[in-house]
Structure 1
Amino acid sequence: MRDLDALFEALARSTFRSKFHLQDKDLAYLHTKGLPTVIVHAGDFIAKRLAPAVLKNDGKQTPFRGHPVFVAQHATACCCRGCLEKWHRIPKGRALTPDEEAYVLKVLERWLHNEMNKLA
């Protein structure tokens, strides 16, 4: 797992990752539900779609839209096990540990918080 400051600096330099931002509908959802509730949703998504050792559709399990967390996952390279390995140094082929799941949630929460504050 990476230092978050170093990770976010690297993500900012990625043309692909830096193009993701929350649109009006997702920002409204985030403001209405609140960041703590959206992070609970993120925990559920991570547990079901990212944490298992073997994923039926790894690399395609995270939609690009439909929930602020999905956008955050792509923006932070927390969208599939391949990206977790490449960007976060979390190996594929085994279930995520509780510490790794907590780390992914911290990454997503930081990105979502930053998005909320850009327009505040």
Structure 2
Amino acid sequence: MVLQRLRHSEFRSKFYLSRKDVDYARAKGKDTIQQHAHELLAGRIGAAQPRNDGKQTPMRGHPVFVAQHATATCCRGCVAKWHHIPQGRELTDDELGYLVAVVMAWIEDQLRRHP
């Protein structure tokens, strides 16, 4: 899976959820975080030409933002490089669902690692 490849990236492997992010994710629950992931990814990288592409995803402030950088779902260039989804067109529902699933798998792995 792509998460295994991402773990070998020096840059991507530096990301982790802070205690605050872990607490937030646990308080909100998986369904809510997944809904946030869907909304954030659709709004930030779903368009054919996202606004400020390459700079639109904050590095912190929400567990999904951190996960986007860790999973290379932060901009369309990273999505093309790591997930082989071409730039220049809107994401399909299936592609968006796949990217959300990758983000959620990373978040769930992070939650398992935190006591």
Tell me the TM-score range normalised by the shorter chain.
over 0.9
Structure 1: any 5+ residue segments left out of the alignment?
Answer: none
In structure 2, the residue matched to 1:65 is 60
Q: How far apart are the structure 2 equivalents of 1:72 and 1:94?
A: 23
Are residues 1:96 and 2:96 paired?
no
Note the 1:7-22 alignment, pairs <5 A.
Answer: 7-22=2-17
Q: How far apart are the structure 1 equivalents of 2:36 and 2:4?
A: 26
Q: Of 102, 105, 108, which residue of structure 2 is paired with 1:107? A: 102
TM, length-normalised to structure 1: 0.93
Q: CA deviation at 1:47?
A: 1.3
Structure 2: any 5+ residue segments left out of the alignment?
Answer: none
Q: How far apart are the structure 1 equivalents of 2:31 and 2:110?
A: 15
Give SS of 1:74's match.
helix
Q: How far apart are the structure 1 equivalents of 2:114 and 2:66?
A: 17
Q: Of 46, 55, 59, which residue of structure 2 is paired with 1:51? A: 46
Q: CA deviation at 1:56?
A: 2.1
Are residues 1:23 and 2:42 paired?
no
- Report the aligned-residue RMSD: 0.7
In structure 2, the residue matched to 1:84 is 79
Structure 1 residue ranges (4+ consecutive) displaced by more than 4 angstroms after TM superposition: none
TM, length-normalised to structure 2: 0.97
